[in-house]
Amino acid sequence: MTEPTFADRDAVARTDAHGVALDCLAAGIAAALPERIVADRASVADGVLGVESVDGTHVEYDLDDYDEVRLVGAGKAAGGMANALATRLGDRLVGGAVVTVDEGDESDEGDGGDESDEGDGGDESDEGHEASPVDVLPGDHPLPSDRGVASTRRVIDIADGAGPNDLVIAVVTGGGSALLAAPADPISIDDFRTATAELLASGASIDEINAVRKHCSAVKGGRLAGIAAPATVLTLAVSDVVGDDLGVIASGPTAPDPSTYADALAVWDRYELDPPATVREHLQAGVAGNRPETPTAADPLFERTRTLVVGNARTALDAAATAAADRGYDPLVLAAGVRGEAREAALSHVAIAEECTETGSPATPPCVLLSGGETTVTLGTADGRDGRDGELNGHDERDERHGEPADGRHGGPNGEFATSAGVALDRDGVVVASVDTDGIDGTSGAAGGIVDAATLDADAARDALARHDVAPLLDAADALLRTGPTGTNVNDLRVLVVTGPAE
């Protein structure tokens, strides 16, 4: 297991407070790494698999009760989760396959891939040196690809081969919606890809986007559980979704789906979008009752299915809070589910930090304020003119060939959060840092940014914000935070270190 590190830390950590902020961020990301999560949440003792969720729910599965144990899944943390679980399960695990992002290809998101890159075997576990029986296969994110389809086909085959006396363990993590790519007939991967790109640029919420994904997929919206039935299915989920909605995490491949074809079709009309013909015709056929609806909670297949959230934003926040306390700072978690416009959220965070310096409330300096969740950036035109072209979050579109932003803008919600905070700060004693825990903040090529009151020129920062091109500005100020792909994703993590005395 590789602990997260920040590039050019000596230049970035220009004060002790900057160093504390980086330490808290690193601790939060480390706690959410898949190997750490499995170590903390899963065990096998005397042939019994035990799993504890983040809410304290504990379940046990006697492995002797099953003929075979198989493992499937998808997401940015799926490879690490699979290998860590394989180490614990040992020879009780007959095999499996998961789809994840090839870290070497992260900057070339969604390039369509080559099916020859699919791979023919598992990776070596970070916790052991023997080859894993689980095939860790490549897909693409944020747009689905041909190689993702090929990899997903292998996942489907393994799930479909499970018998009534088998246990199928599914690992579902952030990024799985794009990585687990199996368009429903007759939708082609090209049309599915086009539809996904349109939705990501539309300003639609993740719930709306995933309602469409689920109803245009052969595996999402509980359909993977249906493929595995009548086997017993246990899903371990690492949530990148505010509120940990099981139907939204990776588009809920093993979870009941409350959305309908009508809901999915309405998204296109609500945002005045024109989907590819095969997508619209498929959804219309579903509304007319000519396509099977995704399974709901009342479906009998879920009687043998259980999903536990084993990692989420709180996982990172709790670890960051512990790191702050270990360094002599009073930690305060403001919220795990911050949403809305990134630059506006920054202003409210700065206001709370300033209140701490002035009144000692809600926390007395030296203190560290923490928050999680997922903010967005409402895009105008590339030159900064008003107009809504969509929303930028941690999962947006790059040029298909070179990993460059399609419109030339380099930024993301965490970079804009930090930049907006840098403009708003008018006093010393506060350091603000914000990152996407997967290490990829929008189209910035970085994880996020870190600032204090003296980091940025206010006029230059306002101009960069207007153009949604903040990464070059932060980089020039030694304030751009780079980790590379971390191998996990529990959304954003923000740290405000307040050292100024209360007056």
Average model confidence (pLDDT) for the chain? 89
Q: Does 87 have pLDDT greater than 90?
A: yes
Residue 104's pLDDT is 55
Q: What is the mean pLDDT of residues 273-299?
A: 97
Residue 134's pLDDT is 96
Q: What is the mean pLDDT of residues 408-416?
A: 87
Q: Does 378 have pLDDT greater than 90?
A: no
Token code pair at residue 190 = 């090209």
Report percent pLDDT > 70 for the chain. 87
Residue 1's pLDDT is 53
DSSP helix/strand/coil, 119: coil
Token code pair at residue 95 = 């095999």
Q: What is the mean pLDDT of residues 76-96?
A: 96
The better pLDDT of the pair 326, 114 is held by 326
Residue 382's pLDDT is 45
Residue 313's pLDDT is 97
Residue 3's pLDDT is 76
Q: What is the mean pLDDT of residues 188-200?
A: 94
Residue 111's pLDDT is 37
Closest residue by Cα to residue 37 from 436, 261, 313: 313
DSSP helix/strand/coil, 235: strand
Q: Does 71 have pLDDT greater than 50?
A: yes
Q: What is the mean pLDDT of residues 395-406?
A: 37
Q: Does 199 have pLDDT greater than 50?
A: yes
Note whether 250 and 231 are within 8 A (CB): no
Task: Please spell the DSSP secondary structure of 375-440, one letter per residue.
Answer: -BEEE--TTS-S---EEE-TT--B-TTTS-BTTS----HHHHHHHHHHHH--SSSEEEEEEETTS-
Note whether 358 and 503 are within 8 A (CB): yes
Q: For residue 183, what is the DSSP state?
A: B
Cis amide linkage into residue 362, ω under 30° from 0: yes
Q: Does 271 have pLDDT greater than 50?
A: yes
Residue 334's CB is within 10 A of a number of other CB atoms, namely: 18
Token code pair at residue 476 = 């020039």
Q: Does 113 have pLDDT greater than 80?
A: no
Residue 7's pLDDT is 94
Q: For residue 244, what is the DSSP state?
A: -
The better pLDDT of the pair 186, 388 is held by 186
Q: Does 126 have pLDDT greater than 90?
A: no
Residue 120's pLDDT is 41
- Predicted confidence band at 103 (pLDDT cuts at 50, 70, 90)? low
Q: What is the mean pLDDT of residues 237-241?
A: 95
Task: Please spell the DSSP secondary structure of 194-207, one letter per residue.
Answer: HHHHHHHTTT--HH
Residue 503's pLDDT is 45
- Predicted confidence band at 132 (pLDDT cuts at 50, 70, 90)? confident
The better pLDDT of the pair 167, 3 is held by 167
Note whether 235 and 172 are within 8 A (CB): yes
Residue 90's pLDDT is 96
- H helices of 59-180, in order, are 78-89, 146-160, 176-179
- Predicted confidence band at 128 (pLDDT cuts at 50, 70, 90)? very low
The better pLDDT of the pair 390, 429 is held by 429
Beta bridge partner(s), residue 369: 332, 496
Residue 399's pLDDT is 31
Q: Does 70 have pLDDT greater than 70?
A: yes
Burial readout 243-266 (b: 16 or more C-beta within 10 A, e: otherwise): ebbbbbbbbbbbbbbebbbebbbb
Residue 315's pLDDT is 98
Task: Give the integer Cα–Cα distance in Å for 24 and 368.
Answer: 9
Task: Give the integer Cα–Cα distance in Å for 314 and 490.
Answer: 9
- Predicted confidence band at 116 (pLDDT cuts at 50, 70, 90)? very low
Task: Give the integer Cα–Cα distance in Å for 215 and 260.
Answer: 7
Q: What is the mean pLDDT of residues 400-418?
A: 67
- Predicted confidence band at 397 (pLDDT cuts at 50, 70, 90)? very low
Q: Does 88 have pLDDT greater than 80?
A: yes
Q: What is the pTM of this model?
A: 0.89
- Predicted confidence band at 384 (pLDDT cuts at 50, 70, 90)? very low
Q: What is the mean pLDDT of residues 474-487?
A: 96
Distances from the Cα of 207 to the Cαs of 210, 248, 263, in angstroms? Answer: 5, 6, 10
pLDDT tens digit string along 13-67?
999 999 999 999 999 999 999 999 999 999 999 999 999 999 999 999 999 999 9
Residues 6+ apart with CB under 8 A from 215: 184, 221, 259, 260, 261, 263, 264, 282, 283, 286, 294
Residue 408's pLDDT is 59
Task: Give the integer Cα–Cα distance in Å for 276 and 53.
Answer: 40
Burial readout 1-10 (b: 16 or more C-beta within 10 A, e: otherwise): eeebebeeee
Task: Give the integer Cα–Cα distance in Å for 293 and 191.
Answer: 21
Q: For residue 295, what is the DSSP state?
A: P
The better pLDDT of the pair 402, 304 is held by 304
Residue 24's pLDDT is 98
Q: What is the mean pLDDT of residues 462-476?
A: 96
Residue 105's pLDDT is 53
Residue 476's pLDDT is 97
- Predicted confidence band at 395 (pLDDT cuts at 50, 70, 90)? very low
